[in-house]
Chains A and B, each alone.
Chain A
Amino acid sequence: MSDVLLDARAVSKRYGGVVALKSIDVVQRRGETLGMIGPNGSGKTTFVNVISGHTRPNAGVITFDGVSLAGSKPFQIAKAGLTRTYQAVRVFGELTVRENVATALVDARAPLPPDAVEEIADWLRISHRYDMRAGALTLMEQRQLELLMRLVQRPKLMMLDEPVGGLSSTEVRTMIALLSELKSRCTIFVIEHTMKVIRELADKVVVLMAGEKLAEGPPSEILADQRVIDHYLGSADA
């Protein structure tokens, strides 16, 4: 079995005349946490959309766990073990937490047995909300439910699109702790604006800038890179 889990080569995406992704190469190894940063509109979410099959790329070859994803639909990619979350939290708001989890189990790649589901629900501190309508949960709880719904499918790679977006600083700390424990359960790809998350979680960082890859490397190097500071970090956040 190869060490490389996700291998995206020369991935390009245009929307009319706008180039959202320009020949991006990303390689992620099994067990390696990859962080993707970049200013708004730099193509981070587009990249996740392309990988997860929600958007078709104009060019490029994407290989996941040794299998090409060309032409695969989102549900097929999910079944192959590549799962994702959304920037705006997305759960079945009208269904209870229990029903949300049951829905995640029906077409899971490798559904967890009930006791293991319960163990993860306890770990995510969401078990006590099982009979509540998911739409009535707090944002933090909805994010925890999102993680639970992915984990019960036993994915090989989980792509998180801004997992701490909209959370309070206390909640951000809790989420970072959860995500660092999550690393032992599956490989993580994370888009974030909050540098704290990237600094504490990522083994490797890819910086996108107007659809192009500006830099790539370990967080310590990237966060000190003058180009990254000029283009991105210098602006607001850091």
Chain B
Amino acid sequence: MMQNKTGVWPRNLFGSAVPLVAFTAVAGALPLVLSGNRYLAFVAGMTMIHMLWACGMNLLYGYTGLMPLMFAGIAGISAYTVVDLTAAGWSFWLALPVGTLAASMAGTILGLPSLRLKGFYFTLCSLVIQTVMTLAFVYFSGLTNGDTGISQIPLPSAGHGKPLSGLAYDLVLAAAAVLGVIALIITVHSSLGRRLIAIREDDELAGALGINVTGYKMIAFFIGSLFAGIGGALYAPYIGFISPRSFDVLISMNIWLMVAFGGRGTIWGPVIGVALLAPLSYLLQEYYTIKDVLYGLLIIAVIVLMPAGIAGGFGRAPRLLSPRINLPTPRRSPK
């Protein structure tokens, strides 16, 4: 009884179990079901990579209250690192953690402005950082091959000198997405998640309660960038081609849109957002111009009609903006 009163987590953890089992089953079955159709299997694989990215974006945007529009750039750092290292003879499986770590460290450093800038101002700043990163990907052509991009990226090895088969790669991506969601569930249900939510809600009050706001924001960036980095490393050999356009601001906004569309700050909202939106952009590949218009319209629709995302339902104002009652003085505006 007493445990029940302060022990807020076990109930929530249990609540995640049923959807998690369902998600694992679907993610694991898709590559097998679609193995006859290479194109659809590829779309499913890309969706899994976006799941991973959305988990990282959700940790930062949904749970910590920071909207990092340089997220794709961070994934790009990992992708380029992995591609360059494998070209230099490294095994992909060794390059992956190295590239991911490089992305995480870069993400932590690039997240430093968030210690001073809140809400919209940090988002603006991250937009500038993303632009500079895209320019850097073009400029350092010795490492990135500039605007031309790097093509014919070899598949990871499956041992014995053989490359990973399409099906095996799809299963690796599905496993990565499932592990990513599990990692996110564990993170937000831990005391770390408790602190991040407190920072999202009111960072000054969080500090007054003993929470090291600076330190935990940096930890959030480190973990969020891990998701970006793993996704970026897996992306490059899967698609076989990367260029600065693969990791530009539009990609960042796509990932943000999937999280916002699904419902930020919930585990399963962004998963649904990715499942609906990530395949869409590939299935609409032939109507390239319409795709961008459609995305623009979706962004507007989400902001106007569904500020809390699918998980929050239509027409409901986000709880963050709901009117507060019985307060004698207005508080600072919500972030």
Name the A residues within 8 Å of B210 (CB-CB): 75, 78-79, 106-109, 153
Could you tell me which residues of chain A, from 39 to 83, have a CB within 8 Å of some CB in chain B? 52, 54, 73-75, 78-79, 83
Name the A residues within 8 Å of B198 (CB-CB): 92, 103, 106
B5 in complex: contacting residue of A52, A98, A104, CB < 8 Å = A98
Contact segment of B31-39, B161-169, B189-197, B222-230: B189-197
Check if B8 sits within 8 Å of A139, measured CB to CB.
no
Interface size range of chain A in the complex: 35 or more
Expressed in whole angstroms, the Cα–Cα distance for A181 and B150 within the complex equals 71
Could you tell me which residues of chain A, from 151 to 210, have a CB within 8 Å of some CB in chain B? 153, 165-166
Nearest B residue to A112 by beta-carbon distance?
Answer: B6
Check if A102 sits within 8 Å of B194, measured CB to CB.
yes
Expressed in whole angstroms, the Cα–Cα distance for A216 and B334 within the complex equals 40
The answer to whether B325 has its CB under 8 Å from any CB of chain A is yes
Check if A107 sits within 8 Å of B2, measured CB to CB.
no
Check if B211 sits within 8 Å of A106, measured CB to CB.
yes
Minimum distance in angstroms from A24 CB to a CB of chain B: 21
The answer to whether A233 has its CB under 8 Å from any CB of chain B is no
Minimum distance in angstroms from B111 CB to a CB of chain A: 19
Most buried by A among B7, B204, B328: B328
Check if A88 sits within 8 Å of B207, measured CB to CB.
no
Expressed in whole angstroms, the Cα–Cα distance for A104 and B209 within the complex equals 6
The answer to whether A37 has its CB under 8 Å from any CB of chain B is no
Given A105-B6, A107-B211, A117-B5: A90 in contact with B331 (beta carbons within 8 A): yes
The answer to whether A26 has its CB under 8 Å from any CB of chain B is no
B2 in complex: contacting residue of A75, A78, A89, A118, CB < 8 Å = A118
Name the B residues within 8 Å of A230 (CB-CB): none
The answer to whether A93 has its CB under 8 Å from any CB of chain B is yes
Check if B324 sits within 8 Å of A93, measured CB to CB.
yes
Contact segment of A8-16, A27-35, A129-137, A218-226: A129-137
Name the A residues within 8 Å of B213 (CB-CB): 75
Name the A residues within 8 Å of B207 (CB-CB): 73-75, 78
Name the A residues within 8 Å of B320 (CB-CB): 94
The answer to whether B327 has its CB under 8 Å from any CB of chain A is yes
The answer to whether A212 has its CB under 8 Å from any CB of chain B is no
A residues sitting closer than 8 Å to B (CB atoms) are 52, 54, 73-75, 78-79, 83-84, 86-95, 98-99, 101-109, 114-115, 117-118, 121, 127, 130, 135-139, 142, 149, 153, 165-166
Q: Nearest 6 pairs between A and B by C-beta?
A: A166-B328, A107-B210, A78-B210, A74-B207, A88-B329, A92-B201
Sample (26) of A-B pairs whose CB atoms are under 8 Å apart? A73-B214, A75-B207, A75-B209, A75-B213, A78-B207, A83-B208, A84-B208, A88-B331, A90-B202, A90-B204, A92-B197, A92-B205, A99-B197, A101-B6, A102-B6, A103-B194, A103-B195, A103-B211, A104-B209, A106-B195, A107-B211, A107-B212, A118-B5, A135-B325, A137-B326, A153-B210
Known contacts A90-B331, A103-B194, A135-B324, then 17 further A-B pairs from the complex at CB < 8 Å, ordered by chain A residue: A54-B208, A74-B207, A78-B207, A78-B208, A78-B209, A88-B327, A99-B194, A99-B197, A102-B8, A103-B209, A104-B209, A106-B194, A107-B195, A108-B210, A114-B3, A118-B2, A153-B210
